[in-house]
Structure 1
Amino acid sequence: YFSTCHLLSENTSAVERLEWDHRISEATDLIKDGMKNKVRVGTLKFVLFLYIQQLNKVSLKASLVAGDEWPTRSSSPDLDTSGRNTPRNSNKVLDDHSHMVFIQNNIHEILELLLEHDTYGSSQGDLSLTLEAVEALGFILAGSVDRCKTMLPIQDIAMLQTLQHRSGYSKLMKSFSLRLLQNWIKDSLVQNPFGISACIASGRRLSWPMGAGDDSKEVKESSNKRGRIATNAHVVPKEHMKGNKIIIMSQVGKQTISRSSSTLENSSVKIHRCHSAFLYLLAPLRSVTIEKCHNTTVILGPVETHVYLSHCESVTLIACTRMVTVSSCTLCNLYLLTPNPPVVLSGNDSIRLAPYHTYYPKLEEHMAEVGIGAAMNMWDHPLCIGPDHKEDAPVWELLPPSDFFTFNIPFEMEGATKEIPGGLPSKYHRAIAHRSRQIDSWQKTVKEAGLSREQRKQFQALVESQFHLWLSESGHKRELDNLAVPQAAKH
């Protein structure tokens, strides 16, 4: 909780994060403890962060009676990307609306957490909040006075001359009346205009190139059931893109998407219900959520904050990320470069962890932009949380070297990266080298077999036939066919 709060609340530059990771990677355990003890977050912000986390657990009684539980991932509704304002299931609400209702119903308790009980307002018994407390409230609330053309901290809005009588701000006391501030927030609160539901309702449709297999029936089905991709980048103020620019990719099936563009850069990406797809998002990203996908491969550019994998089956994730969390997933392979231990929550089964095993020309440039280096990689030290984790029957394992292959990103880009950042762990490097020697030995054996020209042609035809059969049976044929579609990999 502390690390996540620090990551989200403190404005640490990419250079500072890189320097921190480098120092930690070279420090002894004793020095590491000393460095970590010096990390600071705002106390009031941390209190708010913990308050929200305490409501992650679903109380059936409370949800039936009050309906004001903080929405959890497991209760998130299916995305309705048809443009309607309401979800398909009327018994569920989109998370953005739930968040707003939660704040409205609990604003008094939230403000009391920020209260200094030895301070009082102008009227007897009316408690007051300091400027510092209202500033901390900006960790979960933001505002605008010009129809979201610009965003302002909540304390700046509350201190405007025209609003002081409603927000309860006293110039003399330099504090806020808790009662008036509470009423003003409840009356003024609206749903997040840059949230998921707003993006679904009024986001701009993105026509990113997609590839489909060469089978005519599959091409027809892919065009009829085209995945939906939308963004709110056109409505988010430029100076407030961080954390607010969203891209939603929903129901992409049997297709390949490759993208590295300014629209994608520094966005928060939500990948939902994709199946049998290959998604190459080769740009620096803010955060990524992958939900309810199956038989899908996701290759991400460096992620500044967090990758969250939830309710997925047979998904391969390849990512450089500050943090990664896996929840309720089965048969998933994660190839990671991360300075923090992967968090494995409850509900998982057959999760395989492996080192990051690919690169593209701009990878290190993008890593520097988000503050992730190759000095420290904690991919093989997962933090397991939940009642279903047992030492004698873990839900995760390290990928055996015999099953490890490097991954090739088949697109041309300009850039300086020519190899996997940080290299591979020794046992995986040895496995790759051994396999390379086997290939060399096989080629030498064929060369020295003394085959005639006709025999070489027959042998080549046999090998190609078996290779195409393997491509078809393994599903790789469709992947290659997708890449061959014109403009399928447009950047």
Structure 2
Amino acid sequence: MSAGTVVGKNGEAAREPPWLHVRRKAFEFGLLPLPGLAHNDVVTGFRNLRVKLLQQAPPVWSLNINSNASYAAPASGGRKRVATAGIAAALEITESHAHLVLDTLASVLNEAGGFVDHLATTPVTEIDTVGADVDDLLIFLYIQTYRRVPSRPHRGAADVADVWPSTSAIDGFLPALSPMQVRSSTVSRRSMPSQAEEEVNQLAYVQKHLPNLLSLLSETTEEEGSSNKVITAEQFEHLGLLLKAKNPGNEPVHLSQAAPFFANSDPDMPAAPVPVPQVLEWVQQHICAASSFSKGTPVGKEEKVVKDSALVEGSLSETADVTMADASASPVSPTPSNAQTIIVPNGVLHLSKDWRPEGMTFVDGVMKASVLKREGDIKGETVKVSHCHDSVVYVLAPLKYVSVFGCSDSTIVLGAVGKAVRVEHCERIQLIVPTARITIANCRECVFYLGVNQRPLFTGDNHHLQVAPYNTFYPKLEAHLAQVGVDATVNRWDRILTLGMVDPHDAFLHPAGSADVQAEGATQLPPEKFVTFSVPRWNEADSEQQLLTRANPFLLPKPYLLAQQHRCKAAENLKQNLKNTPLEEGKKRELFSAIHGHFKDWLFASGNIRQLYDLQALDRSDSNGME
């Protein structure tokens, strides 16, 4: 197979199916800002780490297997799983950080297919009773060496100084905009790497490190006096953390079943182990950018080119990582006007400008408006809310992953999120979400109303953040919570976990000692400032009205409940006093006219008048859609 692959004008791929694509989830939601997790000496470090982890694995691990999940029993008599205590001892980290490692791995494991590890489907509050498979954990720890694509530098230092009181991690992302535009936009899409660049970088990373990854999963067999490294179908399936396979019809297939040397094998009659060089060659021949082969991708008439990195076959290598330092949009070869050319250190990718990654729904660039997304509007398992300003965004659907990026002066209400939420580079937003996990990085002056099953993680350059209990509901909330596995009886909104200022995965060099600087976490919103958020009631086509959620399913802490009751009582008393005050009819009209006038002034001054018009428009649109 040649190093370069060309997709012609008819969209036919030169690569033979099945196609292997990189799973974004591991890189977008699975990277932890714990510098101690990344090993520079991958040869010695991960070999020694494997030994330490196996030493911490109990001789027998009893699993109550979920009947809905298929699990391949581990080899070596079950000595392949470790829980929080074992991870802490092997990695020499605190138990809170070890639990974070285990929990994050659980959130990004592939739960689709025939070989699903039990950790991927276990409720988030019970993951320590299941533990992690050592091979999955090793792959997860290995990708902590990944470096993200660097942002494009801002063009004007004066713009940065005009916005922030001091330099921060966000400074490198600010664009060359007018002062008004700068104030209203935390992060410019022109300064940030595109989704395509990120995916190409992930592909380049996996291609480069395949020999190391396969070597970690391999075992040695003695044949005729010589030692050979081989891989079994079960061991190969552990690459499912990073790779997914698709057949010629663009349908997902099990990773091991996609490989001809493991096809049609099962636990009762497993296929024979295969030499590592043979597995490596096959993966190299079939791994490619998902953007080039996704069903429904607007191929158009342009030519797409993907050049693969040259990979060195053999055992673990010590070569430098792919940093994407040279990634840029540049016309290297003649391309159509509607094409985007992405250059990476090991290749070129041509994409149409209207390309969108598969399995992801975007709510992007909403300015001074309200937007509603419900179940029928969501395609795939990931939602990205990005670059929204002075807006209200409702995404009321059961979700797996949500990314909120570069938003400002907005209220964002999310449905139940079963895997993870990540919030980055936002300012002055209110985020309302029930979720299993949430990470907040590099944000300012935001309030997070959380119903969260695991400790909220705060990292990076955060300033003036507040957390509060979950404060709303919508008709299908409880059904969505049950569908994605979020437990409304467990809310750890106030047990925040704060890590360092430096993210070891970004592409920037950091000053010596900066990795040890403690990041600013979040304070609790005072109970007297806590208010319930009312989600508008649009037309509901639900026939089973008795099953609709009618109150916040998350129990409010007593101080917040008392403050809410006090506010409601005060409002009721004011209403009764106005009603019972003996006033002449003319005076009453003047009083109510003054109240209405002040309310109207507040609607205009706060900008909420626009939201009322938006909600009316959404309601009319919803009604028309149901006719």
TM-score, normalised to structure 1, is 0.74
Moved more, 358-367 or 263-272: 263-272
1:256-335 → structure 2 map (5 Å cutoff): 256-264=370-378, 267-335=381-449
Higher RCO (C-alpha 8 Å, min separation 6): 2
Task: State the Cα distance separating 1:11 from its structure 2 match.
Answer: 4.3
Secondary structure at the counterpart of residue 326 of structure 1? strand
Moved more, 137-146 or 311-320: 137-146
1:180 equivalenced with 2:278 (yes/no): yes
Q: 2:135 aligns with which of 36, 39, 44?
A: 44
Q: Counterpart in 1 of 2:38?
A: none
Q: Would you say the 8 A contact 2:298–2:355 is kept in 1?
A: no
Judged with a 3 Å threshold, the aligned counterparts in structure 2 of structure 1 residues 393 and 266 are, in CA distance, closer, same or farther, namely closer
Q: Counterpart in 1 of 2:522?
A: 396
Q: Which amino acid in structure 2 is aligned with residue 402 of structure 1?
A: E
Secondary structure at the counterpart of residue 435 of structure 1? helix
Secondary structure at the counterpart of residue 45 of structure 1? helix
Counterpart CA distance in 1 for 2:280 and 2:121 is 41
Q: Would you say the 8 A contact 2:472–2:532 is kept in 1?
A: yes
Counterpart CA distance in 1 for 2:229 and 2:171 is 38
Q: Which amino acid in structure 2 is aligned with residue 429 of structure 1?
A: L
The answer for unaligned runs of 5 or more in structure 2 is 1-100, 152-168, 176-188, 301-352, 503-514
Q: Counterpart in 2 of 1:136?
A: 238
Q: Which amino acid in structure 2 is aligned with residue 106 of structure 1?
A: H
Q: Which amino acid in structure 1 is aligned with residue 142 of structure 2?
A: Y
1:157 equivalenced with 2:258 (yes/no): yes
Task: State the Cα distance separating 1:485 from its structure 2 match.
Answer: 2.1
1:4 equivalenced with 2:4 (yes/no): no
Q: Counterpart in 1 of 2:583?
A: 451
Q: Which amino acid in structure 2 is aligned with residue 247 of structure 1?
A: T
Secondary structure at the counterpart of residue 279 of structure 1? strand
Judged with a 3 Å threshold, the aligned counterparts in structure 2 of structure 1 residues 252 and 419 are, in CA distance, closer, same or farther, namely same
Q: Which amino acid in structure 1 is aligned with residue 247 of structure 2?
A: V
Q: Which amino acid in structure 2 is aligned with residue 397 of structure 1?
A: T
The answer for unaligned runs of 5 or more in structure 1 is 25-34, 61-71, 79-86, 165-170, 204-227, 233-243
Task: State the Cα distance separating 1:484 from its structure 2 match.
Answer: 2.0
Judged with a 3 Å threshold, the aligned counterparts in structure 2 of structure 1 residues 392 and 47 are, in CA distance, closer, same or farther, namely closer
Secondary structure at the counterpart of residue 409 of structure 2? strand
Counterpart CA distance in 2 for 1:105 and 1:400 is 50
Moved more, 439-448 or 277-286: 439-448
For residues 146-197 of structure 1, give each alpha carbon's deviation from its aligned partner in whole angstroms, at most 9, with x where no partner exists: 141x222222122359999xxxxxx9981122112212222321012499x9
Counterpart CA distance in 2 for 1:469 and 1:111 is 66
Secondary structure at the counterpart of residue 353 of structure 1? strand
Counterpart CA distance in 1 for 2:518 and 2:211 is 46
Q: Would you say the 8 A contact 1:258–1:488 is kept in 2?
A: no
Counterpart CA distance in 2 for 1:202 and 1:335 is 42
Secondary structure at the counterpart of residue 294 of structure 1? coil
1:182-261 → structure 2 map (5 Å cutoff): 182-193=280-291, 245-261=359-375
For residues 66-100 of structure 1, give each alpha carbon's deviation from its aligned partner in whole angstroms, at most 9, with x where no partner exists: xxxxxx9999999xxxxxxxx97899761111111
- Aligned residue pair count: 414
For residues 283-342 of structure 1, give each alpha carbon's deviation from its aligned partner in whole angstroms, at most 9, with x where no partner exists: 101110011111111111101101100011111111111100000011111111111011
Judged with a 3 Å threshold, the aligned counterparts in structure 2 of structure 1 residues 77 and 201 are, in CA distance, closer, same or farther, namely farther
Judged with a 3 Å threshold, the aligned counterparts in structure 2 of structure 1 residues 53 and 280 are, in CA distance, closer, same or farther, namely same
1:68-79 → structure 2 map (5 Å cutoff): none
Kindly, what percent of the aligned residue pairs are identical? 24
1:107 equivalenced with 2:207 (yes/no): no
Task: State the Cα distance separating 1:45 from its structure 2 match.
Answer: 1.3
Q: Which amino acid in structure 1 is aligned with residue 594 of structure 2?
A: L
Runs of 4+ in structure 1 deviating by more than 6 angstroms, as ranges, are 16-19, 57-60, 72-78, 87-92, 161-164, 197-200, 228-232, 388-393
Task: State the Cα distance separating 1:441 from its structure 2 match.
Answer: 2.1
Judged with a 3 Å threshold, the aligned counterparts in structure 2 of structure 1 residues 310 and 263 are, in CA distance, closer, same or farther, namely same
Judged with a 3 Å threshold, the aligned counterparts in structure 2 of structure 1 residues 481 and 194 are, in CA distance, closer, same or farther, namely farther
Task: State the Cα distance separating 1:144 from its structure 2 match.
Answer: 2.4
1:284-433 → structure 2 map (5 Å cutoff): 284-387=398-501, 394-412=520-538, 413=540, 414=542, 415=545, 416-433=548-565
Counterpart CA distance in 2 for 1:456 and 1:338 is 47
Q: Counterpart in 2 of 1:95?
A: 198
Q: Would you say the 8 A contact 2:461–2:520 is kept in 1?
A: no
1:5-24 → structure 2 map (5 Å cutoff): 5-9=105-109, 11=111
Q: Counterpart in 1 of 2:317?
A: none
Task: State the Cα distance separating 1:423 from its structure 2 match.
Answer: 3.1
Q: Would you say the 8 A contact 1:256–1:279 is kept in 2?
A: yes
Moved more, 449-458 or 185-194: 185-194
Task: State the Cα distance separating 1:345 from its structure 2 match.
Answer: 0.9
Counterpart CA distance in 1 for 2:372 and 2:150 is 41
Judged with a 3 Å threshold, the aligned counterparts in structure 2 of structure 1 residues 367 and 477 are, in CA distance, closer, same or farther, namely same
Secondary structure at the counterpart of residue 464 of structure 2? strand
Judged with a 3 Å threshold, the aligned counterparts in structure 2 of structure 1 residues 123 and 248 are, in CA distance, closer, same or farther, namely farther
Counterpart CA distance in 2 for 1:45 and 1:347 is 31
TM-score, normalised to structure 2, is 0.59
Q: Would you say the 8 A contact 1:249–1:271 is kept in 2?
A: yes
C-alpha RMSD of the superposition: 4.0
Judged with a 3 Å threshold, the aligned counterparts in structure 2 of structure 1 residues 332 and 202 are, in CA distance, closer, same or farther, namely farther
Counterpart CA distance in 2 for 1:73 and 1:158 is 44
Secondary structure at the counterpart of residue 308 of structure 1? strand
Judged with a 3 Å threshold, the aligned counterparts in structure 2 of structure 1 residues 188 and 77 are, in CA distance, closer, same or farther, namely farther
Q: Would you say the 8 A contact 1:111–1:178 is kept in 2?
A: yes
Secondary structure at the counterpart of residue 254 of structure 1? coil
Counterpart CA distance in 1 for 2:583 and 2:128 is 70
Counterpart CA distance in 1 for 2:523 and 2:424 is 18
Q: Would you say the 8 A contact 2:388–2:410 is kept in 1?
A: yes
Counterpart CA distance in 2 for 1:5 and 1:73 is 27
Counterpart CA distance in 1 for 2:123 and 2:592 is 54
Q: Would you say the 8 A contact 2:441–2:462 is kept in 1?
A: yes
Judged with a 3 Å threshold, the aligned counterparts in structure 2 of structure 1 residues 283 and 469 are, in CA distance, closer, same or farther, namely same
